[in-house]
A and B are shown apart, each in its own frame.
Chain A
Amino acid sequence: MVKPNKILEKINKAKSKAIVEEPIIEEESESEVEVEVEVEGEEEEEEEEEELEETKNESTNTDNKKDQSIYTKKRVLFTSTRGIGSKYRHLMSDLISLIPHSKKEDKIDDRKTLSLINETCEMKSCNYAVLFDVRKGTDCFLWMAKTPLGPTVKFHITNVHTLEELQMTGNCLKGSRPFLQFDKSFDSEVHLQLIKELITQIYSTPKGHVKSKPFFDHIFSFFYQDGRIWFRNYQITDQEFKKESLLTEIGPRMIMHIDKIFSDGFGGNVLYSNPNYVSPNNTRSDHKLSKANKYIKRKHQKSQAQERQKVSFIEPNEVDTIFDN
């Protein structure tokens, strides 16, 4: 597992090294000046210079590599709880196949100790985790987390369409890096910014990842509509005789409803909880309740209708009845 703190330390060290190296070079250059005064052994000096340049280049290269390792060395752990249905299992496998820097883990038996995922991440050297928590075989909750320091976002997933479905005709390379596209509304609020950052970190495949391919033929797009996040995956193909490229949907599709944001990996304080979120249990019970008590409702409606009729009765105007007699 790579702790960000450690990484930061490493970077600082590397930077400090670079800083330390520079003055030495300067000193030597000063010595060069000294040497220049002496006419002899110019060639040697030149050689020395070349060597120095090479070392410089090397050092910058290593710096770059270390910098990039933050981005490149990332892995996402995919797990699910027990009792995940076929639909969500397919969804999970789809996402795994679409995200080359992912690792699949065994199902989790105990839903109460989700914080154990942090440890499994450490064991599997993953720094992100995605959990499919399916309850009652119907309600799927998607947890996305940066482990172990957080944050964690819990979504409720609805309207899932997997790759298996036949109406989505697109296709793309396995392991090609996706473009990510976000709606502007993600920048409007802080929690959405947080979610956006987390999603980009989890979904974007770093450049030069071992399993990745150096072409771009699909795009993940995220929209924030109706208080939910809509996920789409399109294939990009060139269109004949046209500048614009053609998009065909690959799938999967899903709608993510934000439930909560936690400060740590699978735990910690609640940073945000969605006021508009209604748990599927509640919606179900509401639905049942709305169906219940038909008789009472009907009676109520009848009484109301009577009242309305009473009120809405307008006495005929005098003018209207002029010609009646």
Chain B
Amino acid sequence: MVSKGSKPANGKKVVTQKKSAVAKKSPAVAKKTISNASAIAKKPTTQKQPTKTPINKKKQSKEIGEFDEDSLKQQLRDMISNGGSFDDDDDEDFDSDVNEQDVMDFDDSEDDGADDFYSEEEEEEEEEDVYGNDLNEEDGEEDDSENNDVDDLYDEMNSGEEEDDEEEEEEEIEAPKSTKRLNKKIEISGDAFQGFASVSDILKEEAKKTKKAPELIREINSDEEVLDENGELVDSENEMDKEEKRQQQLQQQQQKSIRSKYVVNDIEAMKNKLREFRLSGQKTPWIHSLTVTSSSPLEIADIHDDFNREIAFYKQTLQGVTECERLCVQHGLTVRRKPDFFAEMIKSDQQMHKIKTNIQSEKKRVETAEMIRKKREIKKFGKQVQTQKLQERQKQKSDAIESVKKWRKNREKGNVSDEFNIDLIDDIAAKNDRKKVEKSKLPVKGDKRKKKDAKYGFGGKKRYAKTNDKKSTNDMSGFSVKKNNEDRDYSRGKGGKMNKGGKGGKAGKGGKADAGRGGSRAAKQSRPGKSKRAGGRK
């Protein structure tokens, strides 16, 4: 469809510019450049063009600030009111353009993937072209900049969705996508190159463009026709519907064209074949085939949702099974095997055992995991619970003691109004207290006596108090190496490693001596530190 005369010229250009480019890809690239040009060229012919351009102008002028506020508002209103339909139209326009391009280049399908990645380079080249040769392309880009931007957004969304699809399907969809991207890119590059220059410049260029655009169209005649049709369609009232239909058609065409070499669907031949190879020219009797077809096609919303898919499969097969069993009964076939019929199974006993153990181990694993989780939770709260309990116990104890004290005080004062229950509860405690009460009546010791008692002890058996016994000899608590070595003279210097053994030996002796010394103090009590002892004296 593409006029092949124009191809090589562009192609060569490209090749010369990027020397690294593979020769294979150059034709594809060339096509792209042409298609871009055509895409640009098409815009003026569509009837929407005039309606959009003023808005563009206004917007640009807005930035410069030439227009009043009223006009600004109106623009905004226009844009908003146009909003949805405006965008959609654009997209479809654009898409259809793309489709047409794809219809154009048949042999492209394999190269498209690669094109995607060369687009950047092409972009640059395109720019160079723009500088050098034809201003037309630039102009066209300028005009469409806004539309394209909107399209970009739309396409972005589209591409995002499409990428989620399966890889395999992607390839086909990708072909048109890549071209889309390419187009936009180059147009954007045009923008970038020009920036938003003054309005007057833009207007001038627009004027230029409208004149020069037709030349570009003439290069690709077949496309022109398609476009014209498109234009008419856009005009009509129910443009949306028609355009959608058209799009679908185009997509179908495009799909076919992508693989036109390979796609074969020879229905007649297949029907013949089917008739031919059916056994005895008709359907096999059910007894031999045992085949059942479901009553309604299976519809699964998301095939990748494993669980729902398997459930749907299961349900349909279950229907099939019931149908089969019914037919079996009809044809007089036994369905179930007798319980005493044993024969080799598909899976060996070993395998089944494996499966069983696997299931069990899995169950166990789940259980243990749950156990561990529970334990962890308990551990988390266990500390809190424990402290709470301890506090409670402490509280109970203190409460009890308090109540007892109260009760006792009351009794001492001679109040007999104390409650009966307290009396009962503290009966035993009271008995124990009686002795203490008696003791409290005894004459109180003076301070001097107390100190003397502490120093020398009082009462009890005095004899053998200081002799060693088994417990005291084994008690090493009072021993410390440091104290033991206090009296040693280190002035001679360290003896290195050799001396250490000696120290250890002496320490043993010292321990004994110490134990002996400490014997006077009851062996149960450990001697407090020196500093504490000194403090005590003060």
Question: Residues on A close to B: CB < 8 A?
Answer: 4, 7-8, 11, 67-68, 70-72, 97-98, 146, 149-151, 163-164, 166-169, 171-188, 190-191, 193-194, 197-198, 200-201, 204-207, 213-217, 219, 221, 223, 225-226, 230, 232, 234, 236, 238, 244-245, 247, 250, 261, 263, 269-273, 275-278, 282-283, 285-287, 289, 292-293, 296, 299-300, 303-304, 307-308, 310-312, 314-315, 317-318
Contact = CB atoms under 8 A, between A and B. Distances in A.
Given A97-B346, A177-B290, A184-B294, A300 B317 contact: no
Given A207-B288, A261-B270, A173 B337 contact: yes
Contacts of B320: 179, 181, 219, 221
B259 A275 contact: yes
A166 B355 CA distance: 5
A194 B346 CA distance: 29
B53 interface: no
B317 A234 contact: yes
Contacts of A238: 336
Contacts of B270: 151, 190-191, 193-194, 261, 271-272
A271 B264 contact: yes
A304 B156 contact: yes
B343 A174 contact: yes
Contacts of B513: none
Given A8-B280, A286-B174, A289-B114, 18 more contacts: A7-B280, A72-B288, A151-B270, A181-B320, A188-B297, A194-B274, A207-B287, A216-B324, A216-B325, A219-B324, A245-B321, A269-B266, A269-B269, A270-B264, A278-B172, A286-B167, A299-B120, A300-B185
A244 to B, nearest CB: 6
Contacts of B170: 286
Point out which of B62, B291, B334, B355 has the most chain A C-beta atoms below 10 A from its C-beta: B291
Interface string B228-272: 000000000000000000000000000110010011111101110
B463 interface: no
Point out which of A172, A182, A193, A275 has the most chain B C-beta atoms below 10 A from its C-beta: A275
A225 B298 contact: yes
A201 B313 CA distance: 22
A181 B316 contact: yes
A284 to B, nearest CB: 10
Nearest to B337: A215
Given A204-B289, A215-B337, A275 B347 contact: no
Contacts of A4: 276-277, 279
A232 to B, nearest CB: 6
Contacts, number: 267
B252 to A, nearest CB: 10
B72 interface: yes
Given A169-B355, A173-B346, A283 B120 contact: no
B292 A179 contact: yes
A276 B168 contact: yes
A196 to B, nearest CB: 8
B354 interface: yes
Point out which of A193, A214, A215 has the most chain B C-beta atoms below 10 A from its C-beta: A215
B169 A276 contact: yes
Contact of B167 (A8, A71, A181, A287): A287
Point out which of A175, A200, A245 has the most chain B C-beta atoms below 10 A from its C-beta: A200
Point out which of B69, B117, B288, B358 has the most chain A C-beta atoms below 10 A from its C-beta: B288
Contacts of B153: 308, 311-312
7 contacts: A173-B345, A180-B290, A232-B313, A271-B270, A275-B263, A277-B168, A307-B149
Contacts of B510: none
A3 B521 CA distance: 118
B269 A271 contact: yes
A169 B359 contact: yes
B76 A315 contact: yes
Contacts of B341: 215
Contact of B256 (A172, A275, A277, A282): A275
Contacts of B171: 278, 282-283, 286
A171 B69 CA distance: 81
B152 interface: yes
Contact of A273 (B72, B262, B290, B318): B262
5 closest cross-chain pairs (CB), A and B: A181-B320, A215-B337, A71-B288, A184-B297, A311-B149
A213 B62 CA distance: 86
Interface string B286-318: 011111111111101001000001000110111
Point out which of A217, A223, A247 has the most chain B C-beta atoms below 10 A from its C-beta: A223
B168 A278 contact: yes
B291 A304 contact: no
A217 to B, nearest CB: 7
Contacts of B322: 244-245
Contact of B318 (A164, A185, A207, A247): A247
A70 B285 CA distance: 11
A99 to B, nearest CB: 11
B150 interface: yes
B77 to A, nearest CB: 11
B390 interface: no
Contact of B336 (A215, A307, A314): A215
B167 A225 contact: no
A172 B337 CA distance: 11
B44 interface: no
Contacts of A292: 117
Given A163-B347, A181-B316, A194-B270, A204 B291 contact: yes
B344 interface: yes
Nearest to B344: A174
Contact of A191 (B265, B295, B321, B352): B265
A194 B316 contact: no
Interface in B98-124: 113-114, 116-117, 119-120
Nearest to A295: B120
A214 B334 contact: yes
B530 interface: no
